[in-house]
């Protein structure tokens, strides 16, 4: 519940119209774990919004340090990172722009049709563009990322994608989404904690058998 409240608070301070967008972003980036220590084994991207090593270092920390933080501690860094992405006409008033602030900041404010693959072709070359596409499961446009995030979303996003029963659409009051956010994040955390406990119990049982 503390994490959910912090997501609501950070969204308010950053001008994100709906905290569900930020919750869905964290859900997608952490593969549903909401873990501050989850790490991509290939890129070492770490935490709630998958900070890559150069980004972490540029902010005065490291992925190793981020991985030791609690969820609430790391949310301070999430807020600091996103705040840096707001400038001039670039803001977080649309869900796709919030997603792109983390995934591909160049695409912020460019709309769902912005072609990330073409950007790589023009600015990094064909080989690098093909590599990008392979590493990111075919995400070619800003809209592709948004749709994939929405497919796994737990809350309404304002884009094509998942809807909670009884919620969604422009008529849904903000407080209703806030309540849904608190309940959803709390449930996800409970499921994750249960899986972790079962994993520890299984490891302990295996060790006990081997030690006999």
Q: Is 161 left (phi over 0), alpha (psi -120 to 50) or beta?
A: left
Q: Which of the four pLDDT bands, split at 50, 70 and 90, describes residue 45?
A: very high
Q: What is the mean pLDDT of residues 152-177?
A: 46
pLDDT at 164: 34
Q: Which of the four pLDDT bands, split at 50, 70 and 90, describes residue 210?
A: low
pLDDT at 113: 97
pLDDT at 160: 41
pLDDT tens per residue across span 52-63: 999 999 999 999
Query: Contacts from 73-81 at CB under 8 Å and sequence distance 24+?
Result: 73/36, 74/36, 74/47, 74/48, 75/3, 75/6, 75/7, 75/10, 75/48, 77/47, 77/51, 78/10, 78/26, 78/48, 78/49, 79/10, 79/13, 79/14, 81/49, 81/51, 81/55
Per DSSP, the residues of 6-73 read HHHHHHHHHT-S-HHHHHHHHHHHTTT---TT-B-TTT--BTTTTB-HHHHHHTT--HHHHHTS-HHH
pLDDT at 171: 46
The pLDDT of residue 212 is above 90: no
pLDDT tens per residue across span 96-151: 999 999 999 999 999 999 999 999 999 999 999 999 999 998 999 999 999 998 88
- List domains and CATH numbers for the chain: 2-211 (1.10.530)
pLDDT at 87: 86
The pLDDT of residue 85 is above 70: yes
Q: Which of the four pLDDT bands, split at 50, 70 and 90, describes residue 1?
A: low
Mean pLDDT of the chain: 83
The pLDDT of residue 192 is above 70: no
The pLDDT of residue 5 is above 80: yes
The pLDDT of residue 154 is above 70: no
């Amino acid at each position: 519940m503390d994490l959910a409240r912090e997501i609501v608070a950070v969204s308010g301070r950053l001008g994100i119209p709906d905290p569900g967008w930020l919750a869905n972003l964290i859900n997608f980036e952490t593969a549903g774990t909401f873990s501050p220590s989850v790490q991509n084994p290939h890129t070492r991207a770490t935490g709630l919004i998958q900070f890559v090593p150069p980004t972490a270092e540029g902010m005065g920390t490291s992925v190793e340090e981020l991985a030791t933080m609690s969820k609430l501690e790391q949310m301070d860094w999430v807020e600091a990172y996103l705040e840096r992405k707001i400038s001039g006409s670039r803001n977080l008033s649309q869900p796709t722009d919030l997603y792109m602030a983390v995934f591909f900041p160049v695409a912020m404010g460019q709309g769902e049709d912005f072609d990330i693959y073409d950007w790589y072709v023009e600015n990094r070359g064909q080989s690098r563009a093909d590599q990008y596409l392979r590493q990111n499961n075919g995400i070619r446009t800003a809209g592709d990322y948004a749709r994939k995030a929405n497919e796994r979303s737990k809350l309404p996003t304002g884009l094509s994608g998942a809807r909670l029963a009884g919620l969604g659409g422009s008529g849904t009051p903000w407080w209703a989404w806030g309540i849904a956010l608190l309940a959803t994040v709390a449930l996800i955390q409970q499921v994750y904690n249960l899986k972790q406990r079962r994993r520890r119990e299984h490891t302990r049982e295996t060790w006990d058998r081997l030690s006999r």
